[in-house]
Chains A and B, each alone.
Chain A
Amino acid sequence: MEKAIKKYWPIFVLPTLTAFIIGFIVPFAEGLYLSFCKFTTVNKATWVGLGNYVRAFADNTFKYSFWFTAAFAVVATILINILAFAVALLLTRKLKGSHFFRTVFFMPNLIGGIVLGYIWQILLNSLLSLLGRPLLALDAAAGYWGLIILMCWQQIGYMMIIYIAGLQSVPDELLEAATVDGASPWKALWKVRIPMVMPSITICLFLTVTNSFKLFDQNLALTGGEPAHSSEMLALNIYNTFYSRAGAQWKGIGQAKAVIFFLLVVIISLLQLRATRSKEVQQ
């Protein structure tokens, strides 16, 4: 069998590799090229050099949306992971109906972001009007917290599943030994369980950080960037630069922003991976 794999691996790799090249490598290279161009449609581009990058950095809405996104990512990552871990701890106890609750908590993930955004917009707007406060589209702070609530609601279930898998793989002997040695449940959690699930934490942090930075659908549907771009995150800012601006120069600027955005997400997630990887322990 191993021999066969060694011999035929190119055939097995080929479909995925072709799809990856067509769907990722080629568009990526083209996108990179276009960020140095002025264009309306992609097959008619003229080279303008670094001008697009200069103008992208000079754009205040872009800078603002970076800080907005960063603030969102920090709070959302912490909240989602703490809550998901707590729920996972609860549901790995031998409680009645824990399987049912796992399904329930996971379900929000099955609904698309745009749909969720509009549903939550209606919910939150009704709540805000009951409280006599300005609606989502008028209040950037409400938009920010609305996004946090929405993302927590959607992502906690998914992260919970990963944490449950991690917690279940912690050997019972270790926990028993800790108890015999006199560790309190709290101590057992911090000194045994959390170090043992570090790989899950790495994955979950990576997913929540990158998801928060790349958030688009929910932002578009929930607030649309209102009022006046002040709840606009990076991805939506790029989209708006590209699509809602008339004039050929904007497409290139949007494209340049997208390249900067890509680099940012890569750097931040690599830093985060390195930081959490170093805390992982061998089982």
Chain B
Amino acid sequence: MKKNWLALSLAAIMIAVLFAGCGTPGRDKDDKGTGEANGSVYYLNFKPEQDEQWQALAKAYTEETGVEVKVVTAASGQYETTLMAEMGKKGSPTLFQVNGPVGLNNWRDYCYDLSGSKLYGELISDDFALTSDGAVYGIAYVIETYGIIYNKALLERAGYTEADITNFDSFKAVVEDITARSSELGFAAFTSAGMDGSSDWRFKTHLANLPIYYEYETEGMTAGEIKGTYLNNYKAIWDLYINNSTCDPAGLSAKTGDDAVSEFAGGKAVFYQNGTWAYNDVKSLGDENLGMLPIYIGVEGEESQGLCTGSENYWCVNKDASEENIRATLDFLYWVVSSETGTSALADEMGFVCPFKSAKKSANPLVKIADEYIAAGKKSVDWCFPTMPSEEWKNGVGSALTAYAAGTGDWDAVVTAFVDGWKTEYKLNNAE
């Protein structure tokens, strides 16, 4: 009998341990979430590149004010999934982000109206607020710019300078000349236009922005429809990318973002389409070697076209958080965009250009290049991709582009995915 009791109590202890193991982390979170009277902040960060800097900034704020700030960064490409899981929990994020109006669709019911906040007052222009039905749901916190980053030294070795490239035709001539002499020069014109998930957004989203932008410029915007007026230009630039790169177009589907970065940083290619956020990846070439060109697609008058500038990262505050946590979050944000520590962290360490009144100038040289274009009177291309109907639309265009590059599909499939896909997706997502 004694033995039985021993066995029973052992079993009981084991069960207790099992449950304790499950229970502890959850309880821990709750203490942090609601325990303190002055609230706390939980930021679910979107950009893995800046995780370290956000952690440091959170620590600095806690030291200064005593308010707990927790920063968690979602793995690349997993933000929506992580956010969905975290929002369902008890200690949900008080601060999160959405990517423009399409992203807001998902989260509108969770967003606190920021219209009366001090943070909103700091914005330099209402263009950077994400509004819907008169309420301010999101505040853009970073303005980014993309174009074709190029290696100045290599371009010179090929016998050209930036001044030789003023429109699509001159760009094409330079690119094709480099390709013709690539074995003698030892480098290719473009980095691989990888269509792996880590890189395909550069083409199915960022490059696709140009034909959409020009269509909106010349023909205006119709809800739920795109005509595809400039798709031939899209084809021209895509052909240029895939036929003058470091790899055979048939192999693009397996090429990753890292492949393109290493080709560019390794001096194997002159041109690399990406934006200001990629500075850390390419800075090994030296600041003096980095230049940026507008993406010309052969539209009339494009000589005065600048880089593509805009934002798709909007801060949102969780409406369902407790009142003191909302207040703590708003105070934290205000501190980030207005205090000395906050603004220098944003500008110097994260390299962000922020649309706030007291924002500092960013130290990122690619940002400086972008500013020079604006100073020279070039007209920036807006980011129109937040108007794209859905992620699914982008994937459809991406698949068609990959198939076209590999020769298993034709350009008509891209046009279908672009034009018809837009209509179908818009209908599907706006049915209710």
Contact = CB atoms under 8 A, between A and B. Distances in A.
Interface stretch (B176-184, B185-193, B247-255): B247-255
A40 interface: yes
Given A41-B84, A249-B432, A135 B253 contact: yes
A226 B109 contact: no
Contacts of B403: 138, 227-228
A137 B254 contact: yes
A20 interface: no
B103 A226 contact: no
Interface in B66-117: 80-81, 84, 87-88, 102-103, 105-107, 109-110
Nearest to A42: B88
A40 B429 contact: no
Contacts of A139: 408
B391 interface: yes
Contacts of B11: 11
B8 A11 contact: yes
Q: Quick one: which of B11, B254, B395 has the most chain A CB within 10 A?
A: B254
A40 B109 contact: yes
Contacts of B395: 228, 244
Contacts of A244: 80, 391-392, 395
A121 B18 CA distance: 39
Contacts of A248: 105-106, 109
B103 to A, nearest CB: 6
B253 A247 contact: no
A187 to B, nearest CB: 50
B44 to A, nearest CB: 13
A246 B254 contact: no
B16 to A, nearest CB: 11
B396 interface: yes
Interface in A216-237: 224, 226-228
B84 A40 contact: yes
Contact of B429 (A4, A125, A224, A246): A246
B309 interface: no
Nearest to A139: B408
Taking chain A's interface residues, is the majority helix, strand, or loop, or is none over half, making it mixed?
loop
Nearest to B8: A11
A15 interface: yes
Given A129-B251, A135-B406, A40 B110 contact: yes
Interface string A229-265: 0000000000000011111110000000000000000
Contacts of B253: 135-138, 226
Contacts of B110: 40-41
A243 B406 CA distance: 28
Interface residues of B, number: 40
Contacts of B84: 40-41, 243
B4 interface: yes
A242 B417 CA distance: 22
B61 to A, nearest CB: 27
A226 B399 contact: yes
Interface string A127-142: 0010000111111000
Interface in A108-148: 121, 125, 129, 134-139
B246 interface: no
B228 interface: no
Contacts of A226: 253, 399, 402
A43 interface: yes
Contact of B88 (A43, A134, A245, A246): A43
Interface in A135-177: 135-139
Nearest to A12: B11
A44 interface: yes
Contacts of B396: 228
B109 A228 contact: no
Nearest to B429: A247
B390 A138 contact: no
Interface in B250-294: 250-251, 253-254
Nearest to A125: B254
A121 B88 CA distance: 35
A58 to B, nearest CB: 10
B102 to A, nearest CB: 5
Contacts of B399: 226-228
B133 to A, nearest CB: 16
Contacts of A40: 84, 87, 106-107, 109-110
Contacts of A249: 431-432
Contact of B254 (A15, A135, A227, A245): A135
Given A40-B87, A43-B88, A135-B254, A227 B80 contact: no
A136 B11 CA distance: 51
Contacts of B432: 38, 249
Given A228-B399, A228-B400, A246 B106 contact: yes
B391 to A, nearest CB: 5
Given A134-B406, A135-B406, A247-B429, A44 B109 contact: yes
A15 B80 CA distance: 35
Contacts of A247: 105-106, 390, 429
Contacts of A228: 395-396, 399-400, 403, 417
B392 A245 contact: yes
A2 to B, nearest CB: 14
Given A4-B4, A246-B102, A247-B106, A135 B250 contact: yes
B15 interface: yes
Contacts of B392: 244-245
Contacts of B365: none
B420 to A, nearest CB: 13
A115 to B, nearest CB: 17
B352 to A, nearest CB: 25
Given A129-B251, A135-B406, 5 more contacts: A41-B110, A134-B408, A227-B399, A228-B399, A246-B80
25 contacts: A15-B15, A15-B18, A38-B432, A40-B109, A41-B110, A42-B88, A43-B88, A125-B254, A129-B250, A134-B250, A136-B253, A138-B253, A138-B403, A139-B408, A226-B253, A227-B402, A227-B403, A228-B396, A228-B417, A243-B84, A244-B80, A244-B395, A245-B392, A246-B429, A249-B432
Q: In the A-B complex, list the 4 residue pairs whose CB atoms are closest, starting with the nearest.
A: A137-B253, A228-B399, A41-B88, A41-B87
